[in-house]
Amino acid sequence: MDFESFTSQKEPHARTIIHFDMDCFYAQVEELRDVSLRTKPLGIQQKQIVVTCNYVARQYGVTKLMLISEAKKLCPNIVLVNGEDLTNYRQMSNKIFEIVHKYTPLVEKMGFDEDFADVTELVATRWKDNIDVEVEGYIHPVDHELTEHCDCGCDKRLAIGSQIAKEIRQELFVTLGITCCAGISYNKLLAKLVGSINKPNKQTVLISNYAEEFMREINNLHSITGIGQKTEALLLENGIANVTELQNSDIDMLKKKLGFETATKLKELSFGRDIGPVRPTGKPKTIGLEDACRPISVKKDVEEKFRMLLMRLIEQVSEDGRIPIAIKVVLRKFDSAKKTSHRETKQANILPSLFKSNSNGQITLAEGALGKLLKIIMRLFERVVDLEKPFNITLIGLAFSKFQQRKTGSSSIANYLIKKTDLEVQSVTSITSDEGFLSSPQTFRPSDQFYRRRTTASPIPMNVDLEAPSSDISDFSENEVEPSPKKSRFSLLIAKRRCLSSNDVNDIASPSKLRVCDLRLNSRDSEKDISMSPISSPSTSFPVPPPSKCSSPQNINYSPTSSVNGGDESRDIGDMVCDPIAAPKSQEPNTSIPQQPSQTNEDSLTTTAVSTQTTISGNLANIPCPSGVDQSVFNELPLDVQNELINTWRSSMAAKANNLNTNTTAATSNISTNTSMAGGQKNTLYRYFLRNK
């Protein structure tokens, strides 16, 4: 069995997907903060609810989303920790993501405590002919061998996948102290479902050809991702109460009720067929906070809530580093109507100049911006609530969205153009690689990772007109909403540049004359500018997990040998030898290091990726103008911009060559989109320098 044949999308079992599910995540995070909690029944409280709890509490019958009162009845000794502020959970979630991300760029977050990873490529690089691979963890169904019923090679891929899952779980544990379950299969649906068969802290692979039966075994419609309450109810109305019945359902009536798309998709899912790719998660599109509260009916109280939310939000946005250009308020009215989830939202665009960048790649509020924002917020609030009449607000939320791109790296074209404007977007020199979460310098980190996601074009509606600097931002906050962006003037701009190109070098070389609003940048565009460099050969550039010296996993408490988990006759021999009840620092450092999977050097990185970062210095005359680029325009560009364009162009070529035999998954598509830039792509900076035919 060779790689090409199973890498092809046509092979049903071609991919290898791992789903990770953290064991009672919030509770784990709290136990790491205070290890004395491990032995006690622990519930994480949000308002009147236990949103999750540890296994000790579950022994008493406490469950997720149980009322506090009920939990106390079942377990009077339960320790409750307030978990309304998700900061710690979010941070841990990000660290987990980063670790998984070292193994493959194809990582998709599902909430804070779950991740999908497409390790198809990694499996291929680890594939050795004539060498059998042992499966790590459980096999489902039990008493079956992986090799049964299918000869496409999927048994071996799954076995390798299970070893990767094992390694990743091991690393999560030794570096973060976090345990999780993992499911391994050839698509997301099955990986997720099979991962939940053995819990907690276990991993399970699914026998490929058992999929259809497995789905009937699950049989619960709600456990199929995509079928929520409404759809389930709708299906039930039509006589479909479980997966088996969905499998046997009449597709035509299904289409009538659900529409073609969802009908066919659900039917496929019912058989365990899911072609949904693992879509790499990028930076969030919105950053928001909300607070359910006892009914508020006074404007002043509302404003106070908003102020607190806003200050917390600013902190998050500051760390994120991108500048938001829209804000949204979310409100839930107590309307005696028991529509539980009737939220109303209003949003408005805001000026980017409310924020300024500091040299650390973070952003802060400009002078007086907080007050202005609050004004805008209260205006939006009054668009929802008529202050003349009595009102009751039971939930208040705020969210920033439409983030502007903050490029990292000094050589970006975008930064070059922006820096010359009078905008305070300084910090061109700050090569802040927007880290944030993990400190690990070893981290494999394609800098494009956070910018790869498909995102709707969000033009930068900046109204900073250099000719009219008098337009104060306060004008806007008074007007609350910002003028809607005009149509792109780029074609005009280009035309102008072309006219001037022969004699007015200055106009081109001095972008300060460009108005930033002329740049129809969106996140997609900048993404390309960024994504050029570290791509070169994906299949060779994955690091094998470092035989991590386990230098000093701060505050990690694990113990290799002590008591075995609750008498679990672990068939899962490879599972974490961890004792969640272990005393933290009483461990001797030597003994507390779990044995690492002995990593041979043979599959370590031998191919050196071509550093496309290298700038072409020196004689530009030797460098051909990229094909399709207007030579005269090109020559008049500043040297570093020329360099960047050439690098861009080169790596496109390299990628195209490299890409010939690569597969179809979504993540590699950033390469192909680059290569096809001359084709369909609009709005790319690169494209702006292309010759109009």
Using CB under 7 A, list all residues that contact DNA: 46-49, 51, 65-67, 84-86, 90, 110-114, 192, 222, 224-232, 259, 261, 279, 284-292, 326, 328, 338, 340-347, 349, 383, 395, 397, 399, 453-454, 456-459
Find out whether 445 and 433 touch, Cβ atoms under 8 Å. yes
Is residue 66 within 8 Å of 406, Cβ to Cβ? no
- Spatial distance between the Cα atoms of 16 and 665, rounded to a whole number of angstroms: 12
**CB 523, min distance to DNA, A:** 12
Residue whose C-alpha is closest to residue 321's, from 152, 397, 435: 435
**Smallest gap from residue 247 Cβ to DNA (A):** 17
Amino acid sitting at position 547 = P
Residue nearer to DNA on the CB measure, 315 or 472: 315
Nearer to DNA, 227 or 544 (CB): 227
Nearer to DNA, 431 or 457 (CB): 457
Q: Which structure tokens are listed for 374?
A: 């609050």
291: which strand partners?
A: 396
Neighbouring residues of 336: CB distance < 8 A, sequence distance ≥ 6: none
**Rounded least distance, CB 54 to DNA, Å:** 16
Q: How far is the CB of 174 from DNA (least distance, A)?
A: 23
Which CB atom, from 380 or from 516, has the smaller least distance to DNA?
380
The answer, yes or no, to whether the previous bond of 141 is cis (omega within 30 of 0) is yes
Output phi, psi for 325, to 5 deg: -120, 15
Q: Look at residue 188 and give its three-state secondary structure.
A: helix
Q: Which residue has 């494999």 as its token pair?
A: 444
Residue 58 has what DSSP assignment?
H
176 burial level (CB within 10 Å; 0-12, 13-18, 19+): buried
Distance CA 426, CA 419 (A): 6
Question: Least separation, in Å, of the C-beta of 316 and DNA?
Answer: 7
Question: Can you tell me whether residue 551 is helix, strand or coil?
Answer: coil
Quote the CA–CA distance of 533 and 550 in Å, as a whole number.
31
If the CB atoms of residues 395 and 629 are measured against DNA, the closer one turns out to be 395
How near is the Cβ of 112 to DNA at its closest, in Å? 7
- With respect to DNA, which residue has the nearer C-beta, 372 or 497? 372
Q: How far is the CB of 331 from DNA (least distance, A)?
A: 8
- DSSP code of 517? G
* Residue ranges with strand state E in 496-582: none
Identify the helix (H) or strand (E) that includes residue 356: strand 355-357
How far is the CA of 65 from the CAs of 44, 71, 220, 224, 580, in angstroms?
A: 10, 10, 20, 20, 23
Minimum distance between the CB of residue 330 and DNA, rounded to whole angstroms?
A: 8
* Residue 312 token pair: 């917390």
Helices (H) and strands (E) in the chain, counts: 24, 16
Element containing residue 46 per DSSP (H, E): strand 42-46
Secondary structure (DSSP) of 59-74: HTT--TTEEHHHHHHH
Token readout for 514 is 């460009």
The CA distance from 513 to 65, in Å, is 58
- Cβ proximity of 18 and 161 under 8 Å: yes
Closest separation between CB of residue 215 and DNA, Å? 14
Residue with tokens 């993992």: 182
**Is there a catalytic annotation at residue 31?**
no
- Is the distance from CB of 581 to CB of 563 less than 8 angstroms? yes
Q: Which is nearer to DNA, 86 or 556 (CB)?
A: 86
Task: Give me the least distance between CB of 97 and DNA, in Å please.
Answer: 12
Closest approach of DNA to the CB of residue 178, in Å: 14
d(CA 277, CA 666): 7
Ramachandran bin of 471, using left for φ above 0, alpha for ψ from -120 to 50, beta for the remaining angles: beta
Report the chain's terminal Cα–Cα distance, integer Å: 48
User: Active-site residue among 108, 114, 136, 527?
Assistant: 114
User: Order of strands, edge to edge, in the sheet holding 203-206?
Assistant: 107-110, 114-118, 17-22, 180-185, 203-206, 138-140
Between 45 and 643, whose beta carbon lies closer to DNA? 45
Strands 66-67 and 49-53: antiparallel
Query: 382, 383, 378: which is closest to 398 by C-alpha?
Result: 378
User: What is the distance, to the nearest Å, from the Cα of residue 682 to the centroid of all Cα atoms in its chain?
Assistant: 25
| Adjacent-strand bridge partners of 292 | 395
- Closer to DNA by Cβ: residue 263 or 582: 263
Assigned token pair, 547:
């035989």
Q: How far is the CB of 168 from DNA (least distance, A)?
A: 18
Q: Quick one: 341 or 554, whose CB is closer to DNA?
A: 341
**Nearer of residues 37 and 235 to DNA, judged by Cβ:** 235
**Please, which residue, 327 or 369, has the CB nearer to DNA?**
327
Residues with a catalytic annotation lie at 114
